[in-house]
Structures are given as C-alpha cells and as structure tokens.
Amino acid sequence: MSGGVDSSVAAALLKQQGYEVIGITMNLSCSSGASNRGCCSISAASDAQKVADQLNIRHYILNFKEEFKKQVIDNFVEEYKNGRTPNPCVRCNQFIKFDLLLKKAEELGAEYMATGHYARISQGGEGYKLLKGKDPKKDQSYVLYRMTQKQLAHTLFPLRDLTKEKVRKIAKELKLPVADKEESQEICFVEDDDYGRFLKEKVPEAVRPGPILDRNGKEVGRHEGIAFYTIGQRSGIGAHGRKKYVVDLNVRKNAVIIGDNSDLLKLELTASRVNYLSGRAPAKKLEISAKIRYNSPAAAAELSLLKGGKVKVLFKEPQRAITPGQSVVFYQGDEVLGGGIIEKGGK
C-alpha cells in the first residue's frame, strides 16, 4: 500500500471479495513528506495506515532502504554516469516489489501479493500470461515485463479491468481518505524533481562541463554535464540557427552530440538483459509490437535472437530517440512477451 488511491482501492476490492487482506507499505528512501507525492514518504505511510484502519486490516511498514539503494538508486546513478537513461520503476518492480516484498509477504502468511497496477494476469495450458490493463491510458504492463512465472502465479491485480475514473469513483463511494489524492511522482527518491541537484550530489564526476559537438565533431557549444542530457532532448544545447537535438552522448570525451531530428530516427535496436515471461526464448524470429519507452505507442517490429542472450528489434517504421538504458518491451496483441534493456539504436 503506497498510500495512493490505486493500492487503497485494490485492498478494498479484495476485502469485498472475501480475501483476508493485510497491508504492507515499503520504507524505501524518502524521509520527508513535503511533496506528499512520493510513494515512500512519511505522509504516504500515514495515508496507507489511515486506509488500513478504515478497512480494518493489519498494516505493516517494512524497511527496504538498504536494498532499494543498492538495486535502484545506485543503478540509476551509475547509468546516468555512463551516459544512459534508466527506468528505475522497472528495477524497483523487478528487485523490490515482486522479489523482496513478495518473499516478505509469504513470510507473513500471504498466499498472494496484490498491487494497484493497471495490468492483467491470465492462466492457461502454457502457464501464466501478463496482459495489458483494460484502460489504455493507464496500462502499466510496460514496467512489469521482468516478472517470472512464479511471481505471476502469486500476484493479483484487482484493478485489471478498471479505468482510473472508475477507481476514483469507488474510492469516493467508500469514503477512502485518499480518494482525491494526486498521482504519485514517477521517481520517488528525487522528491523535488530536481534531477540536476540529485546527480550533482551523487555523481559530481559526471557533472563536468564539456563540449557540445555537431555530427562532424566540431565544437558548437558547451554543456554543464552529460548527466543532464538524454537522447532526443532539445533544451539546454543553445541556439544553432535551426532546431537541433541531442543524438548521442560520448562519455569518454564528456561530449554531447547534437544533430537534426532526422538523426534521431532509427529502424533497429539491440537489447540485452532480456527477460521472457514464459521463461523461454522464442525458437525463431517473431512478429511483434514493441514499446521503447513507457509513454510511446507500440510499433510493429520483428524480434530476432543474437549471441549472448541479446536480441535485435527491427521496426517496420523508424522510431524516434531510441535511448540506451531505457527498456524495450515486446507484445503480441495484449500479451507481454518480455523485454530488455536497450543497448543502442542502429540504421
């Protein structure tokens, strides 16, 4: 229970359905509740406790600060240091929620762990499948692609068929104290959303001034640190007569490379650290749709296997700003087949 409306309604629905419900809030990293938005702030834990009291369920707060720092924050910092753009929510789900938290829930006697994610799980002859949530505006299957068969077997998504509007309505009907609470911020451990400040504190060596280069290697400006830049970015690179964008980051030279919008269009990518929800890699090339970031639409593509467990994704149409460090997630219809971490774009 994050203290938000989604997990609160999920708990309420399960209790209505006859489950014996306990609530768990994770203490991850945030210490203040100033923003009242972080899923690990003091105010979030307090809100979760209020909901648990109203639902008359036991509520636990578990301290995962050390594990969260190791698996999520340190990785976030290291990726930016190396000129990559990570998705910490993916790692949090992989290492904290659906690994560590699920194990702790089982130790408390729980048979299932339920969350407020907008996604679905189905069971058939070939095992468990992860499917998109019914609400296309809130579908969160993208950040769940690293789940395993065992995790799927012990997970419930009570909001699977609901829209956000319906969830708000249920919360108001039940008079839950979080019914009108605003959405949580995407990255809870950067409480003020000031990534520049956060990275300056954590990786000062990655926040060194350096050159902004054009595609020919000519210096056309200066930057304050490559950690402030990501592929496709337009701000912070100065005026150059016409629109220019960040098209690459050269960590060795501490350089930001800029180019035209056309330089951002790529037909293929390579990904590593691939997970297949079935537990098995496909035996042959697959026609899929693929998302290269959470908010991007899925695009038609072909998935093929490479050596070393890597994959190549060849798109039917060029994709804009394929970004190393982000996740590419593979779909067939509503089913999530798996995904991996983008290493580079090509062509």
pLDDT in tens, 224-275: 888 889 999 998 888 877 899 999 999 999 999 999 999 999 999 999 999 9
C-alpha span between 12 and 57 (Å, rounded): 10
Cβ 229 vs Cβ 216: under 8 Å: no
Per-residue pLDDT tens for 162-199?
999 999 999 999 999 999 988 876 678 887 777 778 88
Would the CATH topology of 208-259 be identical to that of 264-346? no
Structure tokens at 121: 């799980």
pLDDT at 39: 59
Q: Which of 41-50, 267-276, 311-320 has the lowest mean pLDDT?
A: 41-50
Q: What is the pLDDT of residues 71-118, one digit of tens each?
A: 999 999 999 989 899 999 999 999 999 999 999 999 999 999 999 999
Number of residues that make up the chain: 347
What's the confidence (pLDDT) of residue 32?
Answer: 44
**Which is the catalytic residue, given 30, 39, 89, 188?**
188
Q: What is the average pLDDT across 308-313?
A: 96
Cβ atoms of 118 and 135 within 8 Å: the answer is yes
- CATH code of 208-259, in short, is 2.30.30.280
| Whether residue 92 lies in the annotated active site | yes
Question: Per CATH, which fold does 264-346 belong to?
Answer: Elongation Factor Tu (Ef-tu); domain 3 (2.40.30)
CATH number for the segment(s) 5-173:
3.40.50.620
Predicted confidence at residue 30, as pLDDT, reads 56
> ∠229-64-89 over CA atoms, to 5°?
35
Domain positions in the chain are: 5-173, 208-259, 264-346
Q: How much is the pLDDT for 41?
A: 65
- Quick: pLDDT tens for 327-342: 999 999 999 999 999 9
Please report the pLDDT score of residue 310 as a whole number: 97
Q: Are 213 and 255 in contact (CB under 8 A)?
A: yes
188 is known as an active-site residue: yes
Query: What does the pLDDT read at residue 193?
Result: 74
The dihedral sign for the CA sequence 202, 208, 214, 220: positive
Does the pLDDT of residue 36 top 50, yes or no? no
The catalytic position among 39, 40, 89, 92 is: 92
CA atoms of 137 and 224, how far apart (whole Å): 36
The answer to whether 225 and 207 have CB atoms below 8 angstroms apart is: yes
Residue 288 pLDDT exceeds 90:
yes
Q: What is the pLDDT of residues 106-158, one digit of tens each?
A: 999 999 999 999 999 999 888 999 999 999 999 999 999 999 999 999 999 99
Of 92, 158, 169, 170, the closest CA to residue 121 belongs to 158
Position with higher pLDDT, 185 vs 296: 296
Lowest pLDDT segment from 7-11, 12-16, 143-147, 224-228: 224-228
Integer Cα distance of 213 and 237 in angstroms: 10
**How many distinct helices (H) and strands (E) make up the chain?**
9, 16
The pTM score is: 0.93
